[in-house]
Amino acid sequence: MTKPWSITIASGGKWSGIIGRGKLICFTALEAGANVSIQFYNARDLTERYNMPDTLKAQYTAHLTKGNILMSDNGRAMASFVQDSLGWHDTISGYTSRLATDAKYGATNYQELRNEWLRSGQENFAVELVRSGLGMRDMMPVVNLFSKVSCDLEGKMHFAVDHCPAGAAVTLRTEMDVLMVLSNTPNPLDPREFYPSVPVKLEVLAAEPVHEQDACLNHRAENRRAFENTWEYYELSGF
């Protein structure tokens, strides 16, 4: 790519598309309090997808930040967190539903509000999954960029309201050809009573090849084996 591709996703917006391996996806929160829910699938085999438990247990973490990778259910590195100004992104809280959105923010509809009506993650994902030949059975845990949800010793989940300032930025590097499906809808555990209205900018540009000193490759031995599985997949398939 000679120059970055860019798009801004408005609050409530959605996007899906295939992003080839070896690219950087830079996400920037244009205002404070963003949340972008994302699902990842192998673009060449949609039955392979991001696996939250495999990702967390292999890296002994319950949150995602620089150095972490997103692992597929086939033991491969799908994408890497190569830059992160926040230090914590959530992957245990899921996405909003129509019922929960109506219950929390009040029922809205297009008839009355036109494009100001409040979208839900569930519906945004449903539309984009069906577009790619997938469906509700393919709905899985999402990565919630820009959100922090921690757990206390009793297991109670806490959403950090002031976690994401305006300008917060995180960059993922694709290690596979991925179908990325995203929804700019609130984190389900966000306790604020108003629907967050934060546009998020995406830029996609070419990444440098992964070198031997790469922080994500060397984060843990588990990460390296996941990378090796991805490299082997491409060598064998010839993709």
Partner 1 sequence: MGVFNRVESPRKAEEALYNEVVLAGDGWMHELKPGQVLRIVDLEGNQAADTLFYDADNPEDHYSAVATIAGQGNIYLTAGSVLRAESGKELLTIVADTCGRHDTVGGSCSAQSNAVRYAHEKLSMHNCRDTFMLQLAKHDGAYTKRDLAPNVNFFMNVPVTPEGGLKFDDGVSSPGAYVEMQSHGRTMVLISNCPQLNNPCNAYNPTPIRVLIWEK
What are the residues binding partner 1 (CB under 8 A)? 47, 51-54, 56-58, 60-63, 71, 73-76, 88, 92-94, 97, 99-100, 122, 134-142, 150-157, 188-189, 222, 225-226, 228-229
Q: Which amino acid is at 98?
A: R
How far apart are the C-alpha atoms of 118 and 138, rounded to whole Å?
A: 23
| DSSP at 123 | H
Contact 182, 7 (CB under 8 A): no
What is each CA distance from 43 to 19, 21, 39, 137, 170, in whole angstroms? 8, 10, 12, 17, 22
Residue 113 or 157: the one with the smaller Cβ distance to partner 1 is 157
Q: Measured from the CB of residue 227, what is the shortest distance to partner 1 in angstroms?
A: 10
Residue 1 or 131: the one with the smaller Cβ distance to partner 1 is 131
Residue 76 or 173: the one with the smaller Cβ distance to partner 1 is 76
Q: Measured from the CB of residue 6, what is the shortest distance to partner 1 in angstroms?
A: 30
Q: Measured from the CB of residue 189, what is the shortest distance to partner 1 in angstroms?
A: 6
Residue 73 or 203: the one with the smaller Cβ distance to partner 1 is 73
Q: Measured from the CB of residue 24, what is the shortest distance to partner 1 in angstroms?
A: 24
Q: Measured from the CB of residue 95, what is the shortest distance to partner 1 in angstroms?
A: 8
How far apart are the C-alpha atoms of 79 and 55, rounded to whole Å?
A: 11
Which is nearest to 79 in space by CA: 239, 232, 234, 223? 223
SS3 68: coil
Residue 26 or 100: the one with the smaller Cβ distance to partner 1 is 100
Contact 105, 188 (CB under 8 A): no
